Structure 1
Amino acid sequence: MKEVHSQYIYLSTMKGVPSINHIFLIDDDAVINMINRKIIALTYPSLKVSSYMHAGVALDRLKQWAESEPSQLPDFIFLDINMPELDGWEFLDEFMKLPAAVQEKVQVIMLTSSIDISDIAKSRTYKPVIDFLSKPLNADRLNTLMVSHRKM
């Protein structure tokens, strides 16, 4: 595991490449959030991970940081679709109302149990959405995302 682990750490220490510092997990399933948090912690132990069971709370936090502390904004959001109160699509609709600087910084990955082709197609209509994955996350897919989608 140390060999693989050092490969992942390399991502955040390369000179001239912005490091990835913060990830949001938004899913109403506490077990899924815990599994994803552990996978991220084992793969990238230095990353800050914030998990939310209510998309509205996560959205409020993004709005707050957009106005007062943009450096606190996450680099990635892993977003479920089917949630009570504010689902993933409603979250994205509200996210698209945030300042352009936020939409450019924060990349969204749909992480869901949906395999509906119409959901995949709909996710592609949102510019901040960079991928559509089935849950739970795994270390290999996480690393691929981090390497291929980090902002230069």
Structure 2
Amino acid sequence: MGYKVCLLIDDNYIDNFVTRRILEGSNFAEKVVVQQSATDAIQAIREGELKPDVIFLDLRMPLMDGFEFLQEYDKLKTEQKSAAKIFMLSSSLDPIDVKRSNQNKYITQFIHKPLTQKVLEDLNA
């Protein structure tokens, strides 16, 4: 596995609960941090409070969606970004969302919710 800090950004409490349990149960990362707001997450990264190795990012959220988060992420200084792997984790079935994710330089992979143990194993394969 090898990740130190995994950041989960999703406004849905139930999704966060389930995803966090899967991540912690698989020892995917030493620490799993949950942010229910992309705005709060980008602020924590900008201020140096968070330096995630890997990010699971929801697409559809109020105030700031996943793509808006990525626009703000792009503006961060290089040392703030820490070359984190970013996985778009979404229930969206819209092919445009998948295409935009695949074309984004920060997105490693688009993953359909829910995150499963099998998907995590495939990510580490």
Q: 1:128 aligns with which of 91, 106, 119?
A: 106
- In the TM superposition, structure 1's runs of 4+ consecutive aligned residues that sit over 6 Å from their partners are none
CA shift at 1:46, angstroms?
5.7
Question: Equivalents in 2 of 1:102, 1:131: separation in Å?
Answer: 21
Deviations 1:4-29 (A, max 9, x none): xxxxxxx4xxxxxxx31111111110
- Aligned pairs, number: 125
Change (3 A) 1:81 1:96: same
**Which residue of 1 is the match for residue 118 of structure 2?**
140
Matched, 1:83 2:61: yes
Q: Report which of the two structures shows the higher radius of gyration computed on alpha carbons.
A: 1
CA shift at 1:107, angstroms?
1.2
CA shift at 1:127, angstroms?
1.1
Change (3 A) 1:44 1:31: same
- TM-score (norm. length: structure 1): 0.76
Deviations 1:44-92 (A, max 9, x none): 1762001111100000011111xxx6xx511111111110011111101
Question: Equivalents in 2 of 1:141, 1:36: separation in Å?
Answer: 12
The one-letter code of the counterpart of 1:115 is L
- TM-score (norm. length: structure 2): 0.91
Question: Equivalents in 2 of 1:104, 1:51: separation in Å?
Answer: 18
**Which residue of 2 is the match for residue 94 of structure 1?**
72
Question: Equivalents in 2 of 1:108, 1:46: separation in Å?
Answer: 14
Indicate the SS of the match to 2:75: coil
Indicate the SS of the match to 2:63: coil
Q: Does the 8 Å CA contact 2:8/2:57 hold for their aligned counterparts?
A: yes
RMSD: 1.7
> Structure 2 matches for 1:7-86, cutoff 5 A?
11=1, 19-44=2-27, 47-65=30-48, 72-86=50-64
Question: Equivalents in 1 of 2:88, 2:52: separation in Å?
Answer: 15
Give the strand-richer structure, 1 or 2: 2
Give the helix-richer structure, 1 or 2: 1
Q: Does the 8 Å CA contact 2:6/2:29 hold for their aligned counterparts?
A: no
**Which residue of 2 is the match for residue 7 of structure 1?**
none
**Which residue of 1 is the match for residue 85 of structure 2?**
107
Percent identity between matched residues is 34
